[in-house]
Chain A
Amino acid sequence: MNGLGIIKGLGVTLKHFISTYVEDFRWRGKLYRTEKGLAFRSSSKMRGVFTVQYPEEKLPLPEEFRFIPFLVYDELPNGEKDFRCTSCGICAKVCPPQCIWIYRSNDPVTGRPIPAPAEFYIDIDICMNCGMCAEYCPFDAIIMDHDYEISSYDRMKDDIYNKEKLGKPASYYQGIRPTNYARQATARAEKEAAKAAGKKDV
């Protein structure tokens, strides 16, 4: 019969339509704005309504998610911020669109470079969120952030991030990337232990 193909197609649409109500009924109002419901709606067993109701529900971001980078500082007991960055410049060299500017100052007494960045700029209108700066940093000093809610009204004022704006504490880093943090913390502890053992031998 002519038209059977269209009717079969309409059957598929009808099934999708009815399943939205069936799922709502099955979950009895707990499908939206709950964690379990959100997990169901993002899994491969999902049926019915697929929508994530931003801003009331935000999809949990996986650990590897990368947006704009940030600089990690360890909080010292007296409240000072100890940036891990030693201004080695690897991130500036490896950045594909060259959006990182680092100014390394010299010690006025000895004339040797200070292993800390005097100034550090990232132009986020050029950053392509590739994550290579974080991948090749030997000190885990620059990490890709998860915060994507950074739209602004005026880019001339807001879009060049200096060191202050880029700095976030190590506890924040641990919160967003627990596995990476744990792995890098153990690696650093091992390196310290090896250095201490080496010194003892000498």
Chain B
Amino acid sequence: MSDDGLNSTGLVVPAEIRQQVTLTTLDRIYNWSRRNSVWPMMFGLACCAIEMICTAAARYDFARFGMEVMRPSPRQADVMIVSGTVTKKMIPQIVRLYNQMAEPKYVIAMGACASGGGPFKEGYNVVAGVDKFVPVDVYIPGCPPTPQALLFGLITLQKKIDKESLKTVRWYSKEPVLDIPIPVLGPDLMDPRKYEAIKEYNAAQAEQAIAIEQLDQTPPLNQA
């Protein structure tokens, strides 16, 4: 076995057996084997998906990095590359898919729209960045990022995986990892984690309206 950066212990291996033996730590080999076989989920939303397909195609083949196949099923995928604008109508499905992915899982926000809303941020149907609902590991800016930029982002993810340690990873920790609650499409998008905040805000607005009415003895102004 060649060295390949696995030998991190620093101990010296005798020359005769250097071709057959290498010394490494459990962390190192665990991370090395996982970072070289990260399978993306076939999940393209918009224009960035076309650049992702071009990255998967012959010219910028990302199978060279171990992302051999794009799996349509979330159970078999390791990384979800959110490529394209995330809209309110689509975010429940994205959260559902994220919950269904098996640990260890990563999320890459590809493009300006997935990172922070992008040029469509002011729209009424656009979620300003997928990290409002789903934890993101790597952000790749650009509109759209060229395939070479996406490959650089994937290499950044691989570097992040290299730095992980078995003692601190999420999936081996003692606390249970809870599913992210799925947003509901009401009069506007509702995040179940914010129900309390919505009720408090509405109650505060109602109190304010009553206070103004009592103060002025005039009908309250129409609120939005």
Do A and B have CB atoms closer than 8 angstroms in the complex?
A: yes
The CA-CA distance from A153 to B118 in the complex, in Å, is 17
Within 8 A of B (CB), among A146-175: 148-155, 158-159
Residues on B with C-beta less than 8 A from A155 are 109, 115-116, 129, 131, 136, 139
The CA-CA distance from A125 to B2 in the complex, in Å, is 42
Residue of A50, A52, A126, A154 touching B116 (CB-CB under 8 A): A126
Would you give the 0/1 interface string for B89-117, flagging 1 where the beta carbon is closer than 8 Å to chain A? 00000000000000000000100100111
In the complex, the answer to whether A125 meets B148 with C-beta atoms within 8 Å is no
Within 8 A of A (CB), among B134-163: 136-143, 145-146, 148-149, 151-153, 155-156, 160
> B169 at interface (Cβ–Cβ under 8 A)?
no
> B191 at interface (Cβ–Cβ under 8 A)?
no
In the complex, the answer to whether B141 meets A59 with C-beta atoms within 8 Å is no
The CA-CA distance from A52 to B146 in the complex, in Å, is 13
Q: How would you classify the secondary structure of chain B's contact residues: helix, strand, loop or mixed? A: mixed
In the complex, the answer to whether A54 meets B148 with C-beta atoms within 8 Å is yes
Q: How would you classify the secondary structure of chain A's contact residues: helix, strand, loop or mixed? A: loop
> A31 at interface (Cβ–Cβ under 8 A)?
no
Q: Other than the known A97-B119, A97-B122, what 9 A-B pairs have Cβ atoms closer than 8 Å?
A: A59-B148, A125-B115, A126-B112, A127-B119, A128-B119, A150-B141, A151-B152, A153-B137, A159-B139
Which of A55, A97, A125, A158 counts the most B-chain CB atoms under 10 A from its CB?
Answer: A125
In the complex, the answer to whether A128 meets B118 with C-beta atoms within 8 Å is yes
In the complex, the answer to whether B115 meets A159 with C-beta atoms within 8 Å is yes
Residues on A with C-beta less than 8 A from B141 are 68, 124-125, 127, 150-152, 159
In the complex, the answer to whether B117 meets A55 with C-beta atoms within 8 Å is no
User: Which partner residue on chain A sits nearest B140 by CB separation?
Assistant: A151
Q: A126-B117, A153-B139, A155-B131 are in contact. Are A51 and B59 (CB under 8 A)?
A: yes
Give 25 A-B contacts (CB < 8 Å), ordered by A residue: A50-B59, A51-B58, A51-B60, A51-B61, A54-B152, A67-B142, A68-B141, A97-B120, A125-B115, A125-B116, A125-B118, A126-B116, A126-B118, A127-B141, A148-B142, A148-B145, A151-B138, A151-B149, A152-B141, A153-B137, A155-B109, A155-B115, A155-B131, A159-B116, A159-B141
The CA-CA distance from A63 to B64 in the complex, in Å, is 28
In the complex, the answer to whether A125 meets B60 with C-beta atoms within 8 Å is no
> A129 at interface (Cβ–Cβ under 8 A)?
yes
In the complex, the answer to whether B153 meets A151 with C-beta atoms within 8 Å is yes
> B34 at interface (Cβ–Cβ under 8 A)?
no
Residue of B129, B146, B155 touching A125 (CB-CB under 8 A): B129
Would you give the 0/1 interface string for B36-61, flagging 1 where the beta carbon is closer than 8 Å to chain A? 00000000000000000000001111
> A33 at interface (Cβ–Cβ under 8 A)?
no
Residues on A with C-beta less than 8 A from B88 are none
The CA-CA distance from A59 to B60 in the complex, in Å, is 10
Residues on B with C-beta less than 8 A from A127 are 112, 119, 141, 143
> A117 at interface (Cβ–Cβ under 8 A)?
no
> B121 at interface (Cβ–Cβ under 8 A)?
yes
